[in-house]
Structure 1
């Protein structure tokens, strides 16, 4: 269990905690080793001095291609105290995709890891990253060892300190990903941004309140990185997983007395699939708030998690760009299917195609904003403007508000099926089919139909040991007939060994859908 003797409640912030109690555990690395606040801050200071010695100035970007671990967090905090934009790269990308992000962000330094050596080398070469600006954990051809970064540059904090910022790239499911770049504040990096403490307060998390965070998803995801970084700033040790495994998660919860985590519904389903004796083997009484978002959660999955873990399961809906909603477990049981009400300072509206606000109960496009916060998609004013109506923006989700202001999401607008003039939301169908015991995963989308425009196609990943067959198709369709109206039933089922999801649960539906539309034009 992490060492959690805590400093005074006023000393929030990585460097303040490091100065006051350097031996308090900040991070439990995936290899099980515990790293104190002092050691983490010292490593971040060294890297910051090294980046400044390379000539990086406030407003420049550093790109990080590394797995979860102390090295990644040190790189993050080095940038955050140096006025740099730090870009965490999805390590599933291939060389040309990483090269695009290096070039698009204007990266002045590239920090990689030997696990991704081939990708890192190809990307650095294509993007023209200077050899002196390439560093890696472990041996990577053409890269300097990471321990050379800042070596010989003295001790202590870097000479120039001003707050930097993450620069997150939105998922590139439709063309190139776009970086969300916020203006730098010029703030003192020792001062934790009020928005960080406010955000955790939305979930009932406070500085130095005995919480322990578990990170089971890759830190290149916006929410995952935010939860770990803010946890550390507020005195919550972070337990990192390299690869998520359901039983290992339960074991870590028990061992480190984990209190909160950020999860996705795919992880819930895998936890629920564990045998009863495994699920009951571990002491989970430390859990206080297990937060999920990023993907729709089938109602039955949510109910079963609440039955198992109790009302500690909290859901939110939010965007990298700003704004969101939150709903506790108790509220959800009263408003099943909702993603909650706007959190303080956030505005949520449902608009029609002409930008007019719709009344409660009517379905339209969900728009939001967070206070007077602003953003732009890096080098893409057209995308920025297209997503906006006035000072509101949309992610393209479709939903409605009820009379109490609770938001219900139906689907992504671009995923909606229009069959015979009827709007059909695939997420509802997916949420039913995925509950069949022979289904490991499912995607539903529209495919061309000469008369109806589109018909419903289901693509299923069978559960382990289940073989695709005509009999299985009929069994699944019969199951669906008892749970869905006739016009929502898939007209056909195809099978894949694995559906294209990223580690955070996001389904790349276009990769499945586009081949069916080759040579045809979709209506939306």
Structure 2
């Protein structure tokens, strides 16, 4: 329009870096990070991140270079989320459960120039370096993160050129000129998918997407200024669902913990008066099943955002009874973590609490940072009817969808086919417009021509009073093609048998949906709490096909 002009006065590329700079002024002396006896203020966090960015620049890090991190939820991991992009670099946070082989693959694929490693994971990094050294002459520079502020010189010798975190910060200058993105679409981080369905892919996040999704996270979590956030979501997972940046936007306090346990959660909530936290349904399950001697009274209502897998209604109901207010969100690595929210409606207040919990377990609608959400036929790209029955693929479109997959143009094109991001998740749309996830496309069980949602069967299993954890996969069946196979972990002291569990399911589901096989064992999980169904599918496959004879012997 005539008279408009875009210049530095009215246009600056969006970046969550600005959150830290503002909070260092507004919330200057308020605690930013708490970890055991260590407490930093927002002024100190800005100074430490500035020094980190300066030191990286001095050591040759340039715009677009990748800096990796292998660490749990500790202060250094939080600081890396600002210090690395302030140097113009791209942060690549690695799953702490990866072994040396996988870390070597990801370091090579990402071309990481540096890797920051927690002292407890040093052996994993060293193993990765041993593997890389066989094919590469130039290895990433390793920066060792000791526990707290204690140096660990005995660990600094095995790899030539090793650096130590606090010493590195000491090299940095406070007058370093922060490198803001030239374009808000520039990458800020690289997140590898969990690899639960295939080989991990490198998902590229932009400064713009991170900025917008951080604001969305503030709204999703109903965060006022100065919240107290307890870190149970791994910071390496979708950059902590973008809450690493979101908490800074509100001048909150980050309560860091190295290990997540029910006892630790209740203790932190009580000690620090936690107002917000997040976690996968497995974390919620851990909380509701905590023994009485580990529980503490909540100092107030604690808002919890859960996601990663559809939470069983029974678990949501028990969380509410304990005093937690649970908000259910759904998304993927490719959507910066949360992409939807199940927003509560006043008319649901009059429903029975069990029914309310079932409604809350739905995935809901796109949040305010995401433009569109739909359930479509992936072939015709037409929307499915809002009948709560017709299944289609869940698809997203908006500014908080990834830039693409690193070095994989074909996978990126496939993911964006038809102008929408294809999630690979199957769901239905309810008459009120809310979506409900039914399964991953690879997890759906087709038995005798009938589609069986493993999520529905798992929800019934979770309602059994003796079952702690459960997962359903398909097992080959000579007659039906495949039938549900339940992997179950019972609560301590419970001895419920196979026949009782099958009957329990048949009493609550169509008989064809009830499991025909029940296996009692611990469930394999990723570090973000997702059950590794590909592992269970292989186990079910190895059992061989079900026949009438094998059923009678089970």
- Report the TM-score, using the length of structure 2 for normalisation: 0.83
Q: 1:339 to 1:147 in 2, by over 3 A?
A: same
Q: 1:16 to 1:357 in 2, by over 3 A?
A: closer
- 1:49-128 to 2 correspondence within 5 Å? 49-127=54-132, 128=136
Aligned to 1:313: 326
Residue pair 1:227, 1:262 contacting (<8 A) in 2 also: no
Aligned to 2:222: 204
Residue pair 1:224, 1:262 contacting (<8 A) in 2 also: no
Q: Deviations over 1:44-101 (max 9, x none)?
A: 2222122112211111100001121111122221112122110111111110100111
Aligned to 1:356: 382
Q: Does 1:304 align with 2:318?
A: yes
Q: 1:492 to 1:235 in 2, by over 3 A?
A: same
Aligned to 2:393: 365
Q: 1:131 to 1:182 in 2, by over 3 A?
A: closer
Q: 1:242 to 1:418 in 2, by over 3 A?
A: same
Q: 1:448 to 1:68 in 2, by over 3 A?
A: same
Q: Does 1:505 align with 2:529?
A: yes
Q: Deviations over 1:315-350 (max 9, x none)?
A: 111233237221245567294542212223431111
Q: How far did 1:12 drift?
A: 6.8
User: Which range moved further: 379-388 or 259-268?
Assistant: 379-388
C-alpha distance in 2 between matches for 1:42 and 1:275: 42
C-alpha distance in 2 between matches for 1:518 and 1:459: 14
User: Which range moved further: 391-400 or 326-335?
Assistant: 326-335
- 1:473-512 to 2 correspondence within 5 Å? 473-496=498-521, 498-512=522-536
Q: How far did 1:451 drift?
A: 2.0
C-alpha distance in 2 between matches for 1:394 and 1:131: 36
Q: 418, 437, 444: which is aligned to 1:390?
A: 418
Aligned to 1:166: 189
User: Which range moved further: 138-147 or 171-180?
Assistant: 138-147
Q: Does 1:27 align with 2:5?
A: no
Q: How far did 1:131 drift?
A: 6.1
Residue pair 2:445, 2:452 contacting (<8 A) in 1 also: yes
Q: 168, 188, 195: which is aligned to 1:149?
A: 168
C-alpha distance in 2 between matches for 1:370 and 1:129: 42
Residue pair 2:115, 2:140 contacting (<8 A) in 1 also: no
Q: Deviations over 1:296-330 (max 9, x none)?
A: 111122122223326x3211112332372212455
| Partner SS, residue 219 of structure 1 | coil
Unaligned 5+ runs, structure 2: 1-16, 147-154, 182-186, 349-355, 546-554
Q: 1:360 to 1:131 in 2, by over 3 A?
A: closer
C-alpha distance in 1 between matches for 2:533 and 2:322: 31
| Partner SS, residue 305 of structure 2 | strand
Q: 1:195 to 1:501 in 2, by over 3 A?
A: closer
C-alpha distance in 1 between matches for 2:453 and 2:253: 40
Residue pair 2:203, 2:403 contacting (<8 A) in 1 also: yes
Residue pair 1:109, 1:129 contacting (<8 A) in 2 also: no
Q: Does 1:219 align with 2:219?
A: no
C-alpha distance in 1 between matches for 2:396 and 2:89: 28
CA RMSD of superposed structures (Å)? 2.7
| Partner SS, residue 514 of structure 1 | helix
C-alpha distance in 1 between matches for 2:24 and 2:311: 39
Aligned to 2:12: none
Unaligned 5+ runs, structure 1: 1-10
Q: Deviations over 1:383-429 (max 9, x none)?
A: 22223331211221111111221111111111000011110011111
Aligned to 2:353: none
C-alpha distance in 1 between matches for 2:543 and 2:323: 49
Residue pair 1:290, 1:313 contacting (<8 A) in 2 also: yes
| Partner SS, residue 460 of structure 1 | strand
Residue pair 1:49, 1:158 contacting (<8 A) in 2 also: yes
Q: 1:108 to 1:520 in 2, by over 3 A?
A: farther
Q: 1:20 to 1:422 in 2, by over 3 A?
A: closer
Q: How far did 1:446 drift?
A: 0.7
Aligned to 1:295: 309
